[in-house]
Structure 1
Amino acid sequence: MEGCYGKYMTEDQFKIEPQYGPSHNFLVYCNDVLVSFLKYVDCEKLSSVKINFKNKEDEHSFADLKEGSDIFDWMEEHGYSDEMYELEYRHTFFSLVADFCHYMLESFECAAKKKVAVAYALLRKPLRDNLYYIEWLAAEREDLLDKLAKGKAKDLVINKSNAKKYIEKVEKIYGIAHQDGFFNFRYDKNDRMSLEKIWNKANHVITTHSYTKSAQGELNFVFLDEERIDEFTRYYYCVVPLVMSYAVDLIVAMFERIINVNPMTNVINRVLKLARQACTADGKFFQDALNILEVDEIPFFCPHCGNEIHMNLDILFELMNNMFKCEECGFKIESSNYVFDY
């Protein structure tokens, strides 16, 4: 294992080939961050929205709704459109993220076992579909929710032109710029290095599209030898962490707006995510990435006792491995996923 990160790794983390360990750990960490948000949402009942009724009549009318009644219709009819959209938004967003996590984690586990066909096949829905609708929610929330509630299925079909538009809006709204949302990787069958091309082959034994056409005598992903399996494994751990990083940045930004995090929470989580991602690089690139973080300049204090702590690489690595305890009060920061302590 390259870099200082290696000295903090445990035996349990070496279940895959060592060269893929840092990338695999980063992917699992990203998934854990999203799952921790979903657990927080459930614990804090954030799927619900408080309605400040305009009068007693509305309050009684809402309370008298019979089981099976359409709450959204009532809210729209009585002038609570803002609350209606917020409720629909949260339900749709949280559900899309949960579904995204289910598929991605299974893909990570298959990649670790070098079951490359299944690993790539499982990427298609979360990275092409779920992420598209999450971007749509982020960019044009009411448009998606209106079509979902009152439109037809054809109104919700993925459109590549719209995908580009949503990605551009995401960049403006949230300041997230990752290679145009990795559009070509996710949607372009014609791109030589496209994930779209690979997962189409992984999902079909025979493909006939001009850019993904099965070669004569080939059954897609059926006759792979060890060399080809290794190639697909290397490519997976090269590309998927980049796309996952973009997805997590967007989803976390959307979550943080819902829970209204304070600046310190935002900073510490961004630093930990960037540091973990830096560990996927080797040698000089690893060190360069850490230098960019300017670790010594990162503000840090114990969220329990307020003790100011001078950040350094050792403390950063302890945080990355969920091992940090405040020397002043003994408080342990839970940092294996999203840090809520601040």
Structure 2
Amino acid sequence: MQRLMEANTALPEQFHEGYTYCFTAHDIAAQLLISGMEQGIFVTNVILRNEKEKKDLEQAEDIVDWLHKSGRMDDEADVLLTVVFPAVLSDMLHCIFEALEASRKGKLAVAYMLLRKPFQESLYLLESLVADKVLFAKMIAEDPSRLRPQNAGGLDGHARRIESVLEIIGETSRLDAGYIAMLRYDKTSRDSFDSICNKAMHLFTDHKAIKTEQYNVNFILSQGEQVLTQWAYLYSRLPYLMTYFICLIEHIAERFAHTHPTYTQDMNRRLAAQLLKSNAQITEHYQTEQLTQLAQTTYYWLSNHCLENDFPLPAAEHLSRMALSGAFPDEQEELVVSRQHLYQQLTLTDLP
């Protein structure tokens, strides 16, 4: 990745693959958002059932309020979805981009601070959209504070909620709801962004799980091995959350426009290959059962996908090319190039 070649890069080479995976997932989501905005796919149709509704809507000051008062909850939810999803996604991508760039430059306190909002709050909001869009519309209309993560019912509540979302998006075999909940919300665990982000945001913390050590100031006095530990944690765990993030985003985006399957499979190959490259750089100390499960199920999918398309099983030497261009193992370059031309020619409705 070109950014890693810049003179201000402080990120050690052993974390480059994790950084690249996170940016690949970010860029796919960003392209989805940009294309969708340019093509105007973030819209929904509201069917007026009679002349009275048409007249009432013309006199209404706000369509969402009119839909709410008219009891048209499904339509209200769809309109809110078209407004909230691209706005929240845009904000998340800004935070993630700046966090990744801050980490590349060695500004780890800034990186962890920037990751707190998208993964604790914004992702929670998008999960609400997926879990029950009508309930989401009701809460945001009547009491938006109910959409705060604090109302999930503790760590177990978060885990149950995430499990239901994983079932909806079809990712229960690869991702672990309890682990995602812990990474995002468990202040008492050392294996949690919540505890680390809290320390990054505050010079001193007194919760027993994250209490500032004597003669220390959180993150500010970090050096040497401590900084390496902060990078190691970031790029062993963030790819897991980014995998969940991109799966959720793509699921929601399908409500607006269906992506061409060739493009979807191409992006999935790139992500799978880069995830495997990233996982290979995680040291034994930072490996977990959940990370291993994600890598194994991803390789299983990738292997079957290659065989189904009459290509050999992917080996380590195939992953770099696949991650960069989506190329199958031993695929002729002209076929790879032809796919790129196909993407450029797809109609607006085919490729959001």
> TM-score scaled to structure 1, two decimals?
0.80
Q: Deviations over 1:243-270 (max 9, x none)?
A: 1111111221221233234555543333
Cα contact 1:129–1:158 (8 A) shared by 2: no
Displacement after TM superposition at 1:330 (Å): 4.6
Which whole-Å CA distance do the structure 1 matches of 2:68 and 2:296 have between them? 55
The AA in structure 2 aligned to 1:277 is L
Over 3 Å counting, the alpha-carbon distance change for 1:234 and 1:169 in structure 2 is: same
Matched residues in 2 for 1:189 and 1:322: separation?
A: 39
Match of 1:213 among 211, 214, 222: 211
Q: Trace 1:124-273 onto structure 2 (pairs within 5 A).
A: 124-151=116-143, 153=145, 156=148, 158-161=150-153, 162-177=157-172, 178-180=175-177, 182-261=180-259, 263-273=261-271
CA contact (8 A) 2:269 2:302 kept: yes
**What's the counterpart of residue 47 of structure 1?**
42
> Does structure 1 conserve the Cα–Cα contact (< 8 Å) formed by 2:67 and 2:73?
yes
The whole-number CA distance in structure 2 between the counterparts of 1:293 and 1:152 is 41
Go from structure 1 to structure 2 and tell me whether the alpha carbon gap of 1:193 and 1:127 turns closer, same or farther (over 3 Å shift). Answer: same
Superposition deviation, residue 58 in structure 1: 2.8
- The code of the aligned residue for 2:307 comes to E
What code does the residue aligned with 2:5 have? F
Find the aligned partners of 1:331 and 1:267 in 2 and give their Cα distance: 11
**2:31 matched to which residue of 1?**
36
Judged with a 3 Å threshold, the aligned counterparts in structure 2 of structure 1 residues 75 and 205 are, in CA distance, closer, same or farther, namely same
Aligned to 1:321: 324
What secondary structure sits across from 1:138 in the alignment? helix
- Paired letter, 2:218: N
Inter-CA distance 311–102: structure 2 relative to 1 (3 Å threshold) = farther
| Matched-pair contact (CA < 8 Å) for 1:197–1:212 | yes
1:23 maps onto 2:18 in alignment = yes
Shift in Å, 1:32: 0.8
Distance 1:78 1:287 in 2: 50
Contact 1:85 1:145 in 2 (8 A): yes
* C-alpha distance 261-160 of structure 1, shift in aligned 2 (>3 A): same
Q: Is the 8 A contact 2:103 2:111 kept in 1?
A: yes
Pick from 65, 69, 79: which aligns with 1:73?
Answer: 65
What is the alpha-carbon distance in structure 2 between the residues aligned to residue 244 and residue 76 of structure 1? 34
2:287: which partner in 1? none
Mark the CA change 1:329 to 1:128 in structure 2 (over 3 Å): closer, same or farther: closer
Amino acid of the residue matched to residue 49 of structure 1? T
Aligned residues, how many? 318
* Cα 1:28/1:141, change in 2 over 3 Å: same
Are positions 1:94 and 2:56 aligned together? Answer: no
The offset of 1:28, in angstroms, is 0.7
Q: 1:317 deviation in Å?
A: 5.3
- Contact 2:99–2:111 at 8 Å: present in 1 too? yes
CA distance, structure 2, for counterparts of residue 37 and residue 296 of structure 1: 25
Tell me if the contact between 1:297 and 1:311 (Cα under 8 Å) persists in the aligned partners.
yes
Q: CA separation of 1:78/1:287 partners in 2, compared to 1, >3 Å: closer, same or farther?
A: closer
Q: Answer yes or no: is 1:332 the counterpart of 2:340.
A: yes
Secondary structure of the 1:218 match is coil
Structure 1 residues 297 and 247, CA, compared in 2 at 3 Å: closer, same or farther?
A: same
Q: Is the 8 A contact 2:199 2:210 kept in 1?
A: yes
Alpha-carbon distance in structure 2 between the residues aligned to 1:93 and 1:264: 25
C-alpha separation in 1, matches of 2:184 and 2:337: 48
What is the Cα deviation at residue 238 of structure 1?
Answer: 1.0
Q: Larger helix proportion, structure 1 or 2?
A: 2
Structure 2 match to 1:303: none
**SS of structure 2 residue aligned to 1:257:** coil
* Deviation of 1:280 (Å): 0.9
Counterpart code for 1:320:
A
Cα distance change on mapping 1:28 and 1:219 into 2, 3 Å: same
Q: Which of 5, 9, 26 is matched with 1:14 structurally?
A: 5
Deviation at 1:92, TM superposition (A): 1.8
- TM-score when normalising by structure 2: 0.78
Distance 1:261 1:208, change over 3 A: same
- CA-to-aligned-CA distance 1:164-198 (integer Å, 9 cap, x gap): 23212112212223221511111111112221111
Q: Deviations over 1:31-53 (max 9, x none)?
A: 11111121122123233211222
* Distance apart, 1:14 and its partner CA: 3.3
Kindly provide the CA deviation profile for residues 100-123 of structure 1, in whole angstroms up to 9, marking residues without a partner as x.
111111111111112111111111
Q: Is the 8 A contact 1:184 1:191 kept in 2?
A: yes
In structure 2, how many angstroms separate the alpha carbons of the residues matched to 1:329 and 1:244? 28
Hey, what does 1:304 align to over in structure 2? none
Amino acid at match of 1:201: K
Q: Distance in 1 between matches of 2:24 and 2:341?
A: 16
Task: Flag structure 2 segments of 5+ consecutive residues without an equivalent.
Answer: 283-291, 328-332, 344-349
